[in-house]
C-alpha cells in the first residue's frame, strides 16, 4: 500500500503549531513513509540493475522526511543556509539543482566501476556538502546513501536495523566526521 501523500501547493506555508511530542510523532511517521519508499526503490533497483538515484528521488526522500513539519517539503532551498557547529559554507542555492544533477550523473556513470561502499559514501558526503534543503538534509542523505548501497550490492542488507537507523541513534560520530 502506498501511504505517501502528494504535495498540495494550496497549503504551502499553512502548518499547524506543534509541540515537541507532536513533532516527534510526525518525524516518526514520516520516517516510516520514507523507509517504505526507500524499500520500494531498492526492490525496483534490484530488478533493473541500474542506479536508482535521481534528483526526483532525493526530493521525494526530503519531502517524506519533513512533510507536515516544513512549509515547502521536497523543494530545493531558495535561500542561503548556515549549518550550526561547522565551518562548512554550503554552495549558493542557485547552484543546488546543477550540483544534484552532477552528483546523480557521477553515481550513474560509475555504477559498474566503483565499489558500492564508495558510491554510498560519496552520496552521503556530497548531499550533506550541497545541503540542498532548509531541513531534512541528514535524513535524506542517509536514505539516499542506503538506497545506493543496497542497489549497488544487489541485495537488501541483512539485520534488524538499517544503516540510517544506526547513524540516527548516535549522530555524534556522524557529525564529527563532517
For the purposes of burial, counting CB atoms within 10 Å of the CB of 100, is it exposed (0-12), middle (13-18) or buried (19 or more)?
buried
DSSP annotation of 68 reads T
**Averaged pLDDT of the chain:** 87
Q: What's the predicted TM-score (pTM) here?
A: 0.82
Contacts of 60 (CB under 8 A, 6+ apart): 4, 37, 74
Instruction: Provide CATH code, domain 19-176.
Output: 1.10.3290.10
Map out the domains of the chain as residue ranges. 19-176
Q: What tens digit of pLDDT does each residue of 104-138 get?
A: 999 999 999 999 999 999 999 999 999 999 999 99
DSSP annotation of 17 reads P
Longest alpha-carbon distance in the chain = 48
CA 86 from centre of chain: 20
Q: What tens digit of pLDDT does each residue of 56-88 get?
A: 999 999 999 999 999 999 999 999 999 888 899
pLDDT > 70 in the chain, percent: 83
Amino acid at each position: 500500500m502506498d501511504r505517501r501523500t502528494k504535495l498540495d501547493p494550496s497549503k504551502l506555508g499553512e502548518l499547524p503549531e506543534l509541540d515537541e511530542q507532536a513533532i516527534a510523532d510526525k518525524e516518526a511517521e514520516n520516517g516510516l513513509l520514507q523507509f517504505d519508499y526507500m524499500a520500494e526503490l531498492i526492490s525496483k533497483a534490484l530488478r533493473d540493475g541500474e542506479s536508482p538515484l535521481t534528483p526526483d528521488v532525493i526530493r521525494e526522500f526530503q519531502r517524506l522526511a519533513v512533510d507536515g513539519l516544513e512549509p515547502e517539503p521536497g523543494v530545493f532551498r531558495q535561500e542561503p543556509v548556515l549549518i550550526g557547529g561547522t565551518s562548512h559554507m554550503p554552495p549558493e542555492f542557485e547552484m543546488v539543482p546543477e550540483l544534484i544533477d552532477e552528483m546523480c550523473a557521477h553515481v550513474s556513470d560509475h555504477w559498474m566501476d566503483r565499489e558500492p561502499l564508495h558510491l554510498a559514501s560519496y552520496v552521503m558526503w556530497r548531499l550533506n556538502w550541497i545541503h540542498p534543503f532548509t531541513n531534512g538534509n541528514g535524513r535524506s542523505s542517509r536514505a539516499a546513501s542506503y538506497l545506493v548501497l543496497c542497489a549497488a550490492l544487489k541485495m537488501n542488507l541483512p539485520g534488524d536495523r538499517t544503516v540510517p537507523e544506526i547513524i540516527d541513534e548516535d549522530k555524534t560520530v556522524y557529525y564529527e566526521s563532517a
